[in-house]
């Protein structure tokens, strides 16, 4: 008989416990070693409860010969799982109990579960027809009953490894994540770290290295040297490596999504979507880069008046050099790869400075590029406080281009950057103009999606609704009804509204709401806040003297301004310092085009909420909303420069004739 073996343990030294009593002497010793006693509970939970996945080294397995000795699932659990387990769709998956933090492995209509047990809750359950191995990956000794809430995760969820473990173990040094330079994960010589606060718990979730200016200098030198060699790499080879990175990124979406949930409170489903979308972006960029950069241009001199055909002009696109990429907290993976992939396919090197909130997600993403086999020094990621290395990076003489997405900081960067090319996506006050003939059901649905997705923390979120007075009451009622259906809670539960990224953000949002309330705005819902969690709020009868009419809340609050003419709506939109996106709702396409032409924004959506994607569409802002244009094609072009070679002939050359 095979004995029990464990390959799972907490990094504090304690093994993952699942058993308290085993019916054979052969396993008694092992059971005692695995079992959690009260003291172990305290020790393990203290160091792993909030970061339980990153606190595990792997998984352990239970041979069928031993597992088969356990009693059947309770009828309570079997009734819940029976239908799912027999479904083709759920033929092989993990059932993860939110309260138990345990896993039930379902395979071919056989239900198996080995939850972690508190001494007061010692029953183990599994069916006799156990598969060869049972897998477990987290624990929490809650005493809740077995019929707790659960969610489904595919079997790949476990095999992909969790944050800071498995393939990603080398990026973690103790409890501090390393930075990436010259193809290696390194610990900063500063000896300092930066804490990342979980928006939901408001406690430290992760720590990253606080890089020094000296380390930034070294990274810049490495990036410059690596870029020279990378520029000589064939275009097809660059594309091949990008495709490989995209595949790895999508394969290991689970640990990256986990980080997004814990760092920025992004709903779990949306977190996975961001990673998959990022992989698709990288692949598309590789294909588009081959097409764009594989074509040159040929000119002859006699096409310009007064010239003979004595000059042949050859033009091509060549890399800029070192690209400094600075993504924002709300999409730290997608908006990082939207800068990294175009830079790499164009022959540039990258220095990535991720946001503090979102840094660990970005580090996991960078490791996927590392695993793809890119040359050393080509991709670098430095972490630290913006106050210590932010200006030093943006003003560094080794930087040849800055691609930045964020807020007002971008304006300061643009003033200091000097002569280098800039790609800036900054703030927005995206207006939604609603005409009398608009489909109000469509408008309400788009306002909910556009205004409240990810708690309104999107540059393309609807930030103000400008609705014609004649249909305002009807629209407000429809939106109110939909707001009431939005779920509010932690990101792990895939709630519609999750905590905003920081306490300072929540305070700023609250200040806008209180200002509007004091000045006579109508709050369509009761204002409610718990910590960083703000309940969705629609504010009607907003006037121009209220701050929220002009300032960007970046939260789940949406102002409604009633207008009496289209011209009034356009005027309000254009009076803003921002000009990122806008939207128009009407059944009259001709009128929609005219309004679009009049709106001073980078993009206007007709009969839809503002949106960034698809990622190959041009994306740009005007005024204080940005410089330059993004989108895959535009980014590739922006990160290159034109190189011209002119061949001079001793005498005119014409085709034979």
The full set of domain ranges for the chain reads: 25-159, 166-425, 431-620
Q: What is the pLDDT of residue 201?
A: 97
Distance CA 358, CA 274 (A): 13
Contact 531, 202 (CB under 8 A): yes
For the chain, how many residues are written?
Answer: 657
**Local structure of residue 122 (DSSP, 8 states):** -
Distance CA 349, CA 380 (A): 8
**Residue segments in the chain with a per-residue pLDDT below the cut of 70:** 1-161, 657
Kindly report whether the global pTM for this prediction surpasses the value 0.85. Answer: no
Sequence-separated (6 or more) residues with CB below 8 Å from residue 579: 428, 600, 601, 602, 621, 622, 623, 624, 625
Sign of CA dihedral 41, 47, 50, 54: negative
Please state whether the peptide bond connecting residue 371 to the residue before it is cis, i.e. omega within 30 degrees of 0.
no
Distance CA 164, CA 109 (A): 33
Q: What is the pLDDT of residue 653?
A: 87
Token pair for residue 588?
């009259």
Q: What is the pLDDT of residue 657?
A: 60
Distance CA 546, CA 516 (A): 6
Distances (CA, A) of 188 to 252, 349, 370: 26, 21, 19
Cα torsion through 286, 290, 293, 295, rounded to 10: -160
Q: Can 425 be counted among the known catalytic residues? A: yes
CATH annotation of 431-620: 3.40.309.10
Pairing of strands 311-319, 193-197: unpaired
Distance CA 469, CA 250 (A): 47
What percentage of the chain's residues is helix, strand, coil (to nearest 5)? 40, 20, 40
Distance CA 241, CA 372 (A): 6
Sequence-separated (6 or more) residues with CB below 8 Å from residue 411: 426, 624
Token pair for residue 406?
């964020």
Q: What is the pLDDT of residue 149?
A: 32
Distance CA 222, CA 213 (A): 14
Location of structure tokens 């040094």: 173
The one catalytic residue among 425, 492, 551, 552: 425
Q: What is the pLDDT of residue 209?
A: 98
Q: What is the pLDDT of residue 432?
A: 98
CATH annotation of 166-425: 3.40.605.10
Give the three-state DSSP class for 637.
helix
Q: What is the pLDDT of residue 80?
A: 37
């Amino acid at each position: 008989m095979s004995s029990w073996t464990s390959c799972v343990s907490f990094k504090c030294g304690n093994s993952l416990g699942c058993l308290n009593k085993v019916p054979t002497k052969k396993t008694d010793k092992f059971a005692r070693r695995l079992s959690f006693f009260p003291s172990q509970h305290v020790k393990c939970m203290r160091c792993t409860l909030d970061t339980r996945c990153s606190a595990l080294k792997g998984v352990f397995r239970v041979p069928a010969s031993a597992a088969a000795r356990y009693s059947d699932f309770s009828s309570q659990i079997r009734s819940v799982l029976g239908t799912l387990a027999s479904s083709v769709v759920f033929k092989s998956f993990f059932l993860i109990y939110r309260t138990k933090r345990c896993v039930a492995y379902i395979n071919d209509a056989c239900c198996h579960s080995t939850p972690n047990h508190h001494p007061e809750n010692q029953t183990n359950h599994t069916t006799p027809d156990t598969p060869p191995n049972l897998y477990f990956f987290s624990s929490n000794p809650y005493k809740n009953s077995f019929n707790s809430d659960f969610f489904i995760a595919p079997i790949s969820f476990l095999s992909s490894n969790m944050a800071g473990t498995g393939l990603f173990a080398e990026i973690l040094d103790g409890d501090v994540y390393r930075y990436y330079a010259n193809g290696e994960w390194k610990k900063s010589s500063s000896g300092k770290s930066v804490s990342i606060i979980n928006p939901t718990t408001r406690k430290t979730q992760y720590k990253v290295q606080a890089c020094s200016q000296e380390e930034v200098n070294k990274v810049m030198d490495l990036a410059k040297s690596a870029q020279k060699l990378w520029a000589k790499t064939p275009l097809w080879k660059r594309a091949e490596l990008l495709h490989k990175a995209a595949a790895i990124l999508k394969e290991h979406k689970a640990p990256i999504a986990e980080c997004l949930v814990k760092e920025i409170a992004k709903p779990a489903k949306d977190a996975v979507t961001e990673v998959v979308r990022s992989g698709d972006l990288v692949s598309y960029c590789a294909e588009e880069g081959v097409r764009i950069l594989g074509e040159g241009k040929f000119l002859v001199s006699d096409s310009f008046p007064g010239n003979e055909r004595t000059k042949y002009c050859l033009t091509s696109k060549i890399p800029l050099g070192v690209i400094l990429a600075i993504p924002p907290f709300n999409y730290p993976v997608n908006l990082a790869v939207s800068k990294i992939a175009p830079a790499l396919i164009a022959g540039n090197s990258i220095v990535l400075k991720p946001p503090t909130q979102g840094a660990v997600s970005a580090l996991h993403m960078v490791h996927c590029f590392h695993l793809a086999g890119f040359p050393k020094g080509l991709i670098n990621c430095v972490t630290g406080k913006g106050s210590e290395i932010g200006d030093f990076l943006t003003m560094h003489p080794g930087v040849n281009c800055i691609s930045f997405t964020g807020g007002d900081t971008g304006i300061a960067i643009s003033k200091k950057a000097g002569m280098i090319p800039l790609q800036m996506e900054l703030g927005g006050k995206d207006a939604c103009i609603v005409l009398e003939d608009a489909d109000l059901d469509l408008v309400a649905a788009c306002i909910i999606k556009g205004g409240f997705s990810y708690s309104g923390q999107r540059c393309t979120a609807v930030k103000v609704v400008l609705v014609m007075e004649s249909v305002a009451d009807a629209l407000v009622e429809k939106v109110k009804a939909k707001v009431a259906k939005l779920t509010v809670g932690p990101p792990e539960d895939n709630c519609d509204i999750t905590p905003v990224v920081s306490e300072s953000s929540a305070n700023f949002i609250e200040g806008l709401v209180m200002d509007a309330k004091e000045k006579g705005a109508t709050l369509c819902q009761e204002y409610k806040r718990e910590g960083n969690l703000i309940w969705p709020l629609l504010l009607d009868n907003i006037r121009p003297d209220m701050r929220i009419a002009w300032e960007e809340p970046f939260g789940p609050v949406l102002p409604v301004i009633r207008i009496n003419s289209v011209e009034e709506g356009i005027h309000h939109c254009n009076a803003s310092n921002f000009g990122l996106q806008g939207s128009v709702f009407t059944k009259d396409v001709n009128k929609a085009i005219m309004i679009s032409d009049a709106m001073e924004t980078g993009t206007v959506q007709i009969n839809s909420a503002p949106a960034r994607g698809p990622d190959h569409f041009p994306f740009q802002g005007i005024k204080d909303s940005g410089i330059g244009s993004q989108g895959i094609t535009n980014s590739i072009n922006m990160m290159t420069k034109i190189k011209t070679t002119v061949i001079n002939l001793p005498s005119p050359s014409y085709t034979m004739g």
